[in-house]
Amino acid sequence: MVKINGTEKELAGMTLSAYLATTDYDPGQIAVERNGEIVPKARYSQVVLQEGDNLEVVSFVGGG
């Protein structure tokens, strides 16, 4: 299982970019933390989600 924003999902083996494509996140408005590190945007298509991974997708909203 892969935990994303606190919810466990069957995503092991999938790339990060493939997972994000199944969501409503706007790729230009997010930062992704994986196991304590921010994933560089250029690596989204190379990072393969592993069993036990813990991710947080931070999706920014406007206002400041």
Partner 1 sequence: MIPTKKEWMDALARRHGAALQKRFSAASVAVCGLGGLGSNIATALARAGVGRLILVDFDRVDLSNLHRQQYKAQQIGRRKTDALAENLLEIAPYAKIDSIPAQITEENCVQLLAGADVVCEAFDDARAKAMLTNQVLTAMPDTYLVAASGMAGLGSANAIRTKKITNRFYLCGDRVSDAEAVGGLLSSRVMVCAAHQAHMVLRILAGKYEV
What is each CA distance from 46 to 6, 7, 27, 40, 50, in whole angstroms? Answer: 23, 23, 16, 10, 12
- Point out which residues bind partner 1 (CB under 8 A): 26, 28-31, 33, 36-38, 40-41, 56, 58-64
Nearer to partner 1, 10 or 36 (CB): 36
Shorter beta-carbon distance to partner 1: residue 7 or 10: 7
CB-nearer residue toward partner 1: 22 or 42 = 42
Least separation in angstroms between CB 50 and partner 1: 18
CA 11 centroid distance within chain: 11
For residues 64 and 54, give the distance between their C-alpha atoms in angstroms, rounded to a whole number: 29
